[in-house]
Amino acid sequence: MQDGLKPLGREKIALWILLAPSMIGLLFGTIGSIIATTGISMFQWDLISPAHWVGLQNFVDLVTDAGFGEALVNTLVFSAMYVPGVIVISLLVALLLNTKVRGIGIFRTLFFLPSITSAVAVSLIFSWLYARNNGLLNYMIGSMGGAPVNWLGSDMIMYSVVIANIWGAVGEGMVIFLAGLQAIPKDYYEAATVDGAGGLAKFFNITLPLITPAIFFQTILSTINAFQAFEYIYMLTRRGGGDSTIPTIVFSVYREGFKWFNMGGASAQAMVLAVIITVLMLVYFQLEKKYVVYE
């Protein structure tokens, strides 16, 4: 019996060795960051002078902080457009690519490339597309006799930034939905065909209910990404002084901490963001019990 336990003991040791890097990263990178952010939010600290204890004052100040209120509204508006956009477009692309034709793997790779491309590089490309004077979009509009559009102006900037962010996230959603579509048994479609069901009937009665787990998972990812959006917004909406024309909460955290060196205020904003995301996740998991279908 002891000889039989020795291999099991060696397997446990090997398991802990393999898990050690991830566990260390979780402990110091994630849990440690949460504890540190919570602690710093209770202080007034500029990274240079000694930290001064202020308790919950940083959170109280957020109530009357017009800049944070604007950032919160921008984040909610951005998320309201970004999350449905990513889900719908990713699902449509996955449905188009869920076929067995020659070269389909190439098209899947091309749609996935934006997800692994540097956000800075993609933002520079969109800056060129959106440019008012020499941008590709305005060139096409001008060639048809139209007036140039200020894509990064006050009226269009939110839509322009959302489109850029969606373009960078569709590949990730496509992979998730493809996995869900390919997990559906073909027998269901064959039985529906025998019963005389058409394409739309199959989609709404078979495909859509059985990919609700994928939709649920993608909704969670998209919501978290929406509330943490920064790179595209920073690159596309920068103006003089490094500020943004549509600051979001994460941009506000960056501005508060690394432009104004108010680390306590930045940490307080980060904690509020974490609470908002946590509350949304709790709501999602309650809705999951009612709307998500597991085979």
Radius of gyration for the alpha carbons in the chain, expressed in angstroms and rounded: 24
Q: What is the pLDDT of residues 121-154, one digit of tens each?
A: 888 889 889 988 888 999 998 889 888 888 887 7
pLDDT digits (tens, 9 = 90+) for 281-293: 999 999 998 888 8
Rounded Cα distance, 144 and 127, in Å: 22
Give mean pLDDT, residues 241-268. Answer: 87
Helix (H) or strand (E) holding 52: strand 52-53
Buried b (16+ CB within 10 A) or exposed e, 219-245: bbbbbebbbebebbbbbbbbeeeeebb
Average pLDDT for the chain: 88
Residue 4 carries which DSSP code?
H
Question: What is residue 48's DSSP assignment?
Answer: S
Helix (H, G, I), strand (E, B) or coil at 244: strand
pLDDT in tens, 12-55: 888 888 888 888 887 777 888 888 899 999 999 988 889 999 98
Q: Provide the token pair at 164.
A: 């850029």
Give the single-character DSSP code of 238: B
Whole-number Å distance between alpha carbons of 184 and 244: 45
